[in-house]
Amino acid sequence: MSTEEDCKIIHSGTNSRTIVSHVSEEGIEALKNWIKSGHEGKSAAFSVETLSRVRLDKSPDFINMSSPDSVHFSFYSKCLAKRNPYAMYLQSLRLGFCSLDMKGAISLLNDCKDVIPIAKLLYIALNRCAGNEVLDAFNTFKRENKCFTDVDIMAKTLIDHISDLEPKRFGSYAELFHYEDYPDCWVIHEFYNEYNGERCSHCVYFFLFRDILLLS
């Protein structure tokens, strides 16, 4: 949406909550137009409603914005202070894999996992790292995400997010990690002579949890 269109929305009498409903879905880049449009637009862009809901994940700088070196760090920090779920997800990544604060990471993920599917997957993974039994949450996640392609993409995206933060890579959670030697599905794959790597969603989860352990 252009700055001119933004101004029309504002000057037509549209309230800040309506503006927020647009910007929260369009992402952080769309905020620039509202800020340029005048006092009312700027106030709406930095309102609690916007900071708590804006889709930070739509920015190309999404993972990097949690770094103090990012041009978006100040805005990210404001969003985190207002419990924005995307900011909490980013902070949980940093806590879990850079600071090794597993409890802090899990606590944040518990508050945003029902908004962001990938946050729920990380919540499950870190609980397994902590040796916590989250079978009900894991089973629910698997029922909600049955498509192999979607699960595969989500797992690869999560590993990319963790890797982009330059994690410790010490296997720091190895002593507590809840991890099977192999998934039950491998018996079935062997029966059908399926030896081509990640063959089903259960395989994806197995390798994902293993890789997360190695990255910690």
- pLDDT (tens digit per residue) in 112-128: 999 999 999 999 999 98
Give yes or no for residue 12 having a pLDDT over 70.
no
**Section 75-96 average pLDDT:** 96
User: Which of left, alpha, beta for 136 (phi over 0: left; psi -120 to 50: alpha)?
Assistant: alpha
Helices of type H across the chain = 3-11, 16-26, 31-36, 39-45, 48-51, 73-81, 85-97, 102-112, 117-129, 135-144, 148-164, 185-191, 201-215
- pLDDT, average across residues 168-175: 82
Which of 27-36, 71-80, 129-138, 204-213 is most confident?
71-80
- Most confident segment among 152-156, 163-167, 189-193, 210-214: 152-156
| pLDDT at position 17 | 57
Is the Cβ–Cβ distance between 28 and 59 less than 8 Å? yes
Written as six digits, the tokens of 178 are 């809840």
Check: CB of residue 154 under 8 Å from CB of residue 117.
yes
The percent of residues above 70 in pLDDT, for the chain, comes to 84
Q: Which residue has the tokens 């708590």?
A: 52
Residue 207 pLDDT level (bands cut at 50, 70, 90): confident
Evaluate if residue 3 carries a pLDDT over 50.
Answer: no
- 30 pLDDT above the threshold of 60: yes
CA dist 16 and 41 (Å) reads 8
- Interacting residues of 103 by C-beta distance below 8 A, sequence separation 6+: 130
How confident is the model at residue 76, as a pLDDT?
A: 96
**Most confident of the ranges 4-18, 138-152, 200-214:** 138-152
